[in-house]
Amino acid sequence: MITVENLTKTYGTQRAVDDVSFTCEPGTVTGFLGPNGAGKSTTMRMICGLTPPTTGRSAIDGVPYQRLGNPGRHVGVLLDASAQHAGRTGREVLALAAITMGLDTDRVSERLQRVGLNDAAAKRRVRAYSLGMRQRLGLAYALIGDPAVLILDEPANGLDPEGIHWMRGLLRDFADRGGTVLLSSHLLREVEVIADRLVVIGNGRILTQGAKEQLLGAAGTSVRTMDPAALDALLQRMGLTGTRSADGSVLVPSDPQTIGQAAAAAGVVLLELRPAGAGGLEEMFLRLTAGPQPEEVSR
C-alpha cells in the first residue's frame, strides 16, 4: 500500500507539487495522469525518497521509504529506464541488484525471460539496448526483489504495441496477486484499460481521483446549444448547474434523456447531447486539464 499525505514540493517560488494526497491499495493499479510538468515525477521521486518534500509525508505499507530496510524487497521502482550503468550487461545489472538485496543470483535468468529479454540480449551491454529493451530491463530490476509495491514512471515509454500489451498483462497479473501498482503514463488508452483507480494532477494539484468506472461513468452529460443563454435559463429552472468547458460545451450533472426532454419542451435547440463519459479517459483528461483548472473533485 502507498500512502501520500499532503505532499508539497517548492522550487523557489514554484509549487511543483501542491498538497497532494492519495492512497494506492493492494490488488489495484492506480494510473497517475497529468500534462507535462504537472508534478507526477516529482511526486513519485518524493515517495521513493529521491526528492525531499517541502512538507507532507508518504509511506510504503506504513513506513517512509527511507526507513524501509532493504527497500527493493518492498517496493520496485522504475523512474528512469536510462538510469542503468550503460557499460554493464543486462544480466550483470540484475545480478548486482540481486546481490545487493542479499538474494540468490539464480533468479536472474528467470526474471530476464519474464520481461522478454533472451540470452543474447542478456549478454549485451545496456548501451546497445533500445529504449524498449531498457524499459524491460528496468521492469526486471524493479521486480527482482519480489516487492509487493511497484512505482513506475512512464513504463510503456518506448515499448512497441506488443510490448505494451505484454506489460499490461504483467502489471494486471501483479495486481491480481495482491500487489499495489502506481504508474504514470501519457498513453491514456493504456491507462484506461489497465487502471482500477485514477489520480489526475495539474499544476501540482490533484484535479480528480477515484475509481475509474466511477470517474468515467459519473461524468454527466455534455450539451451544446446554439443559444447558451436559453440553456442557462433552462438549467436554472431545472435546479442544475452546468460547467462550461474550454471547447464551448456545457457539462450538466444529469442524464441525456432528462435534459433532452426538458430542452425539447422549452424549445431550446441542442446541437449535441451525449453522456460525457462516452469519450472515455481522453475526453475527461482534456476537459480537466484544459484552461483554468477547477478545484479537486474527490469520489
Ligand X SMILES: Nc1ncnc2c1ncn2[C@@H]1O[C@H](COP(=O)(O)OP(=O)(O)OP(=O)(O)O)[C@@H](O)[C@H]1O
Regarding 83 and contact with ligand X (CB under 6 A), the answer is: no
Count CA atoms closer than 13 A to 58's CA, side-chain side: 29
Q: Does 34 bind ligand X (CB under 6 A)?
A: yes
Judged by CB under 6 A, which stretch of 37-45, 89-97, 173-181, 261-269 contacts ligand X? 37-45
Q: Does 40 bind ligand X (CB under 6 A)?
A: yes
Contact present, 28 and 199 (Cβ < 8 Å): no
Tell me the C-alpha to C-alpha distance, in Å, between residue 134 and each of 40, 153, 157: 21, 13, 10
User: Does residue 156 touch ligand X according to CB under 6 A?
Assistant: no
Residue 165 sits at φ, ψ, to 5 deg, of: -60, -45
| Interface with ligand X, residue 36, by CB under 6 A | yes
Under 8 Å between Cβ of 142 and 76: yes
The reply on whether position 38 binds ligand X by CB under 6 A is: yes
Of residues 48 and 112, the one with the C-beta less far from ligand X:
48
Residue 177 DSSP one-character state: T
41 binds ligand X (CB under 6 A): yes
d(CA 149, CA 242): 40
Stretch in the footprint of ligand X (CB under 6 A) among 30-38, 214-222, 280-288, 290-298: 30-38
**66 makes contact with ligand X (CB under 6 A):** no
Look at the block and give the residue holding cell 469519450: 279
DSSP 124-137: SBGGG--HHHHHHH
CB 151 → ligand X: shortest distance, Å?
13
Q: Of these, 4, 30, 33, 42, which contacts ligand X (CB under 6 A)? A: 42
- Which residues ranging from 179 to 208 are in contact with ligand X (CB under 6 A)? none
Residue 158 contacts ligand X per CB under 6 A: no
Length of the chain, in residues: 299
Residues 49/57, Cβ–Cβ less than 8 Å: no
**259 phi and psi, to 5 degrees?**
-70, -40
Is the CB of 14 or the CB of 113 nearer to ligand X?
14
Instruction: Point out which span in 32-40, 68-76, 90-98, 259-267 binds ligand X (CB under 6 A).
Output: 32-40
**Which residue lies nearer to ligand X by CB, 7 or 126?**
7
Among 4, 16, 207, 235, binds ligand X (CB under 6 A): 16
Q: How far is it, in rounded angstroms, from Cα 103 to Cα 33?
A: 34
The Cβ-side half-sphere exposure at 93, using a 13 Å CA radius, reads 30
Question: Site for ligand X (CB under 6 A): which residue of 6, 37, 113, 280?
Answer: 37
Q: Considering beta carbons, is residue 42 or 89 the nearer one to ligand X?
A: 42
> Which residues make up the interface to ligand X (CB under 6 A)?
11, 16, 34, 36-42
